[in-house]
Structures are given as C-alpha cells and as structure tokens.
Amino acid sequence: MRYRTIGTDPATRREVSVLSLGAMLFGTATDEATSYAILDRYVEAGGTFVDTSDNYAFWQNGGQGGESEELLGRWRRSRGVGDEIVFATKLGARPLAPGTSYLDNPEGLSAKVIRESAERSRERLGVDRIDLLYAHIEDRTVALRETVEGFAELVAEGTVGLLGASNHRAWRVERARAIAAAAGLPGYEVLQYHRSYLPPRVDLPGELDPDGDVGWAGPDLVSYLRAEPQLTLVAYSPLLKGAYAKPERLDEAYALPGTPARLAALRAVAAETGATVNQVVLAWLMGGDVPAVPLVGFSSVAQVEEALAAVDLELTAAQRARLDAAH
C-alpha cells in the first residue's frame, strides 16, 4: 500500500492510504458478513481510509440512513480498531423523515444540524473524534458563515478533525474557505467529487442543481485543485458501477463523441500492462497531475483484490499521454 497526507494542520492532518474504501451499502444491500470480510481484507492490505455518510443508505429501506455508520461501529468494536483507521463521514443530506429524501427534505447545514448530526455520527461509529467530516450537499438556505462557524466549533472542541465538502460548486467551496481564512478558522481541505476517466455530459439540469451536475469534478474544480495543491481530491464512483468492464451499463450521460475513443485507449493500455481496465482507471486517477484518492465501493473481496493491485500499477508517461489525448 502507498500513503499520502491529507490536511495541513499538524493537529488534525492524517496519513491515509491512496485507495479509500466506500461503505455506502454496508449494512443494507451488502450484508454484515460480507461487509466485515471486505473491511478485514482492505485493512490487512494496509488500507486506512474508510468513507461513509449519515444518510447511507436510506433509499434501500425508505428510512433515514445510518446503517452504514452503525455497521462500521460494530466492526470497529469487534476488531479492536483504534485511530489507525481514518473514518470519514458526511452530513447535510440525511432525510428529516422516513419516506423523504435529500431532494425534498434534507437536514441541511445549519449550525444546529451540524452539531447534532455530528454527535449522532460519532455515537454510531463509536469514536471520540470524527477524523474527516464533509458537508455532503449544498444548503443555500443557510448563510455560509453559519455553516463555516458550525463546523469550526466542532474542530475547536476536538470532536472533529479535518473538514471537507462534496457536491458543491467550486465558487461555493472557495467562498466558504475565504470566510474561514478571514476569521482564522479551519476550512474545507478535502473535496469529494465524482471523477473518472470517462467524462459524462454535465450540462443537463441535475437533481441538485438546475445548471447541471454539481457532483462532477469538472474544469473549474480541477483548475482550483491545481492552484491549491494542499487540497485533496477524493474521487467517488471512479469505476462507474462496473461500466468499464461492461460498457453496456453506461447511461446516456456518457453518450458523447469521445467515449468510444477513450474506451479503446483504455483497453489498449490495459492490454499493454496486463492490468484490467478498472486497474488502469484507478492508476490514472492516483498518478495524475492533479492526483485523486479513488473511493471505491466493493460488494465482494474479489473486487477489493482487483483494486488493491492498481496501487502498484505505474503508467508510463507515454501511456498517460495517450489516455489523456483520446477524444
């Protein structure tokens, strides 16, 4: 396994594995025994960065979520896991009532919600401090200053370490970070967005934003990350739910002129390296000029093994150039 540092403050920064394990469906679609086996193998291989959210996975049973955090808490206790594993969770998108969702009834990002939701997550995870806490989705009904100060209070109290944002417009991230910097408060240092080798069409109205997909790490966000190298990009859904191995699973968002050429380049590089297409995608993300920590959800130990092998896959400059140039 390889590692990198996230965060800048010596009091809160952490060293994490370059491959993150996503626990979204643990405790719901992925049963407890399988979830434990996946976690055990990941940690055995040196993995140290586990990701969840307080609303995972409410859509599986019509509830409000929390099953993933609860399972991780049980696993932690059963294995005697301490602070050697970095747990990241998110708040802001938990439905306020069963049968609703983050689209029509989200908890939001008020100072009150941030405090209460973080406390519930700590209880479910069984930790004294959440290593990394994200604002899961935007809440434009609350002043950014209130959100920034709400998160900063928890850091000051020691119940939260690092702060992050997911599914926010780049200008909202920068504005929040500017507010924090001006007040001498901790700001967002880890950005979790959808990023993969195949770019989707992002101009159509999205669920969260009428101006298009706010979750994709597009040009504005990548440019921002390039200018702020102290920030970390965590890339969710990097393998497009298995669509690289089975392109027929690609939805209409990927029906773009450049998709066939990029898939062909990906297959060619995979053949040269003896790797799978999934491993090439993960290596492309980890070794890019704006490097990302791929966040991969697994439903079997075999999938974990495939992803682990990508950690040691080094693409040549020529291979990377061919992948980048394909369109």
Residue 96 three-state SS: coil
Write down the catalytic residue from 3, 36, 56, 236: 56
Residues 6+ apart with CB under 8 A from 86: 14, 16, 48, 49, 50, 131, 132
Cis peptide before 57 (omega within 30 of 0): yes
Dist CA 70 CA 27 (whole Å):
8
Dist CA 244 CA 265 (whole Å):
12
Task: Give 256-261's long-range contacts (Cβ < 8 A, gap of 24+).
Answer: 256/199, 256/200, 256/201, 257/327, 258/199, 258/326, 258/327, 259/198, 261/326, 261/327
The question of whether 236 is a catalytic residue gets the answer no
Dist CA 74 CA 68 (whole Å):
10
Vertex 205: Cα angle to 23 and 21 (nearest 5): 10
- Indicate the burial class of 39 (C-beta count within 10 angstroms; 0-12, 13-18, 19 or more): buried
Beta bridge partners, 49, equal 86
Strands (E), 102-221: 130-135, 160-166, 188-194
DSSP state of 199: P
Vertex 151: Cα angle to 145 and 153 (nearest 5): 100
- For residue 90, give the nearest of 295, 290, 299, 291 by alpha carbon: 295
Beta bridge partners, 91, equal 135
Both tokens of residue 12? 């809160």
The residues annotated as belonging to the active site are: 56
